[in-house]
Amino acid sequence: MTNPVYRFLKGYTIDPGFSTRLDTMAINESVYKIRWEDLKPGPIGEYIEVIDFDPVNYCFYEPVDLDSKEILSQQGLNPSEGSPKFHQQFVYAVIMQTIENFEKALGRKIIWRSYRKWQNGEVDESVEYVKQLRVYPHAMIDANAFYTSDKMALLFGYFQAGNKIEGANFPGGAVFTCLSPDIVAHETTHAILDSIFPRYMENTNPDVPAFHEAFADIVALLQRFSNTKLLEHQIERTRGRLDEYSVMGELATQFGQALETGRGALRSAIGTYDKNGKWKKIEPNPAAYKKTFEAHDRGAILVATIFEAFMRLYNYRVQDLLRIATQGSGVLPQGSIHPDLVKRLAAEATDIASHLLWICIRALDYSPPFDITFGDYLRALITADSDICLDDNNGYRVALIEAFRAWGIFPDKVQTLSDYSLRWSPPLLNKAEATSLNLMAAHIKEDVRKIGRLSDREEIATRYKLVQAKLQKLLTNPSKEIAAAWRANKLTQKDWNGFLRKIGVILEKNPPPLRITYDGELFEFTANPKLEVHSVRPAFRIGREDSIIEQVIITLTQSHRIRSGQFKGTTFRGGCTMVLSILNDVLKVDYIILKRFDNEHRLLNQLKYQMGPESSMSMHISNYDSPDKSFAVNFEKLHLH
């Protein structure tokens, strides 16, 4: 018997409290359409394992069996704040929806990162395959939820609401973070992002922790627009003005109101409440980025920037509809707008949000493997969309450029803010470098293509490790066969070292040690820095013009450590993300997205950031000019707030 294609599960559209309001009760119950998989009670599936242990009450709640006839026949359990089984069902539905969005955009399966373990002061990631992300719906009594990389788990808290009557909360009642689709999607995104870029857990510049928080909010926010019933309700309520107050631009509304802070939702991409409780629209502020440094507040700037791009696209795309509806004036008369216009406006908003979500996710493959900045991400967004759709006929890239400019976020080393200037540039390779790259690509091509044909995630993870090890051996200790290929192509060791420097790697034998003088004290770095091949990932994408794009994403990191002095043990990193395309059975390098060791500006900024605004420093850099540096400050948990 053939399994169904989808599983349908009931859940909340926004937060449970909206079911107790007359204006939203009809739209606060949704049916989540989830890709079918056979489940064990928990639910336990291919990607996640829900473990409902409540340590406060020291009990396990009975696991829900979503494959039971009773539950299947009614599209899952009915939404209920008081039912642990429904809580289990709901976190499963939202997490799986989020995973599916990532897999569609990235063109490959999500593989969870290995458990983070420490050996002799270093992270050991050569541990067993992690099949399932563990999910604890009732992990603690706390107004919080978080992802922890140590346990590869999502932990959701529950707490007592404040006594102040605010929003739809019951004063003193229980609030469950696992029942907010925004919070669940946010924490799931943390886990996925950490699995793609584990170095984004290192606090190397103020944008890195802010990016983790912002990206998680962006995914949660844009996913909300896939709910047609909710979107039509809010468009009707605001008469098509999505830049006015609505729940579409808010995250975790009930959670924020339960904290009794008077700020409304936990976070908002549209507006905020002032000290008098009056809601005001957020206007782009180009000065905010230069003076805001707390991770969530700085991340909110990036969220507002992406939402600003969404609003610009929405207003641009619905102009014709408004002209038709108003006989050319574009100004809607007083009163409710026509239901047909509501549906058309909602369809445009949904289409824009889904494409923008996919662009935001795809941009990860065009981002550096560590030390990301918001400017880097803008370039990644533009390049990712350019590869999928060469002509920006719908204005997505222009809207993003306008929004980043309005918020004062600019990338380094670009001459203009044009579409062309912001794309990552194809690498300029001489003949020897191009030949070396072709040898490297040919060495792994068949392994990568075989991975692309696999469907079992554990087998994919095993093959990933093997091809990463194969590439690392090629780069650090080439075999006799590769050495023979060099000679056949008239390459020397010097040519190979030149190619490695082109991809941000320095592997000369016995290089002179790197030295830095800081406030009169000399610091020396370890020689022969460690090279890590973090990932070799195939990706199969479908463009907006239905073209199929086959790519390989490779990420490399090389690390120096200071050997002595007050900064002993501090790590400096360099490396790259390489994007290669497969065309006519040939691997071709499209982009090498570098974070170089010899970037004095980045090194100086990172040292200043680590030491704080009061530090002063004078610096002399010898030998390699300057290394890339990242301070090994690991976040144990990525918190909700």
pLDDT digits (tens, 9 = 90+) for 536-545: 998 887 765 5
Q: Name 341's Cβ contacts closer than 8 Å, sequence gap at least 6.
A: 240, 321, 325
Q: What is the mean pLDDT of residues 330-342?
A: 83
- Are 252 and 172 in contact by the 8 Å Cβ rule? The answer is no
- Identify the band that residue 577 occupies on the pLDDT scale cut at 50, 70 and 90: very high
Per this entry, what is the length of the chain? 641
> Model confidence at 632, in pLDDT bands (50, 70, 90)?
very low
Using pLDDT thresholds of 50, 70 and 90, give the confidence band for residue 507. Answer: confident
Q: What letters, b where the CB count within 10 A reaches 16 and e where it falls short, cover 105-115?
A: bbbbbbbbbbe
Percent of the residues in the chain that have a pLDDT greater than 90, as a whole number: 39
**Top-confidence residue, 379 or 498:** 379
Compute the average pLDDT of residues 9-35.
87
Among the residue ranges 170-174, 219-223, 537-541, 617-621, the one predicted with the least confidence is 617-621
Comparing 206-220, 302-316, 576-590, which segment has the lowest mean pLDDT?
A: 576-590
pLDDT value, residue 127? 55
pLDDT band at 504 (very low <50, low <70, confident <90, very high): confident
What are the tens digits of pLDDT across the range 203-230?
A: 889 999 999 999 999 999 899 888 888 8
- Spell out the domain ranges in the chain: 1-196, 237-248+257-424, 431-639
Q: Does residue 634 register a pLDDT over 50?
A: no
Q: Given this model, what pLDDT does residue 545 score? A: 57
Q: Residue 473: its pLDDT value, please?
A: 86
- Distance between CA 599 and CA 588 in Å, rounded? 27
- Mean per-residue pLDDT, 450-474: 89
Q: 220 and 188 in contact (C-beta within 8 Å)?
A: no
Average pLDDT over residues 47-68: 93
Report yes or no: 190 and 216 within 8 Å, Cβ to Cβ. Answer: yes
DSSP-derived 3-state class of residue 204: coil
Alpha carbons 568 and 575: distance in angstroms, whole number: 22
Please state the rounded mean pLDDT for residues 269-281. Answer: 70
Distances (CA, A) of 476 to 497, 526, 588, 602: 10, 17, 22, 26
Instruction: Evaluate if residue 123 carries a pLDDT over 50.
Output: no
User: Which is more confidently placed, 85 or 583?
Assistant: 85
pLDDT tens, position by position, 389-439? 888 888 999 999 999 999 999 998 888 999 889 999 988 888 888 888 888
DSSP symbol at 244:
S
- Angle, CA of 228, 339 and 315, to the nearest 5°: 70
Q: What is the number of helices (H) and of strands (E) in the chain?
A: 18, 23
Six-digit token pair at 491?
């390459």
Task: Kindly report which listed range (165-174, 226-235, 308-317) carries the lowest average pLDDT score.
Answer: 165-174
**In whole angstroms, what is the distance from residue 351 CA to residue 31 CA?**
20
pLDDT surpassing 60 at residue 349: yes
How far apart, in whole angstroms, are the C-alpha atoms of residue 263 and residue 254?
A: 11
Q: How far apart are the first and last CA of the chain?
A: 47
Look at residue 262 and tell me whether its pLDDT is greater than 50: no
Considering the chain, what is the average pLDDT of its residues? 82
pLDDT beyond 80 at 330: no
Q: Which of 83-97, 340-354, 422-436, 457-471 has the highest mean predicted lDDT (pLDDT)? A: 83-97
Average pLDDT over residues 363-367: 96
Q: How confident is the model at residue 348 (pLDDT cuts 50, 70, 90)?
A: very high
Radius of gyration of the chain (CA): 26
With a cut of 80, say whether residue 382 has pLDDT above it. Answer: yes
102-117 residue pLDDT tens: 999 999 999 998 865 5
586: part of which helix (H) or strand (E)?
strand 586-595
- Overall average pLDDT of the 1-27 stretch: 85
For the segment 1-28, the average pLDDT, to the nearest whole number, is: 86
Give the mean model confidence (pLDDT) for residues 93-103.
96
The better pLDDT of the pair 616, 250 is held by 250
What is the pLDDT at residue 636?
42
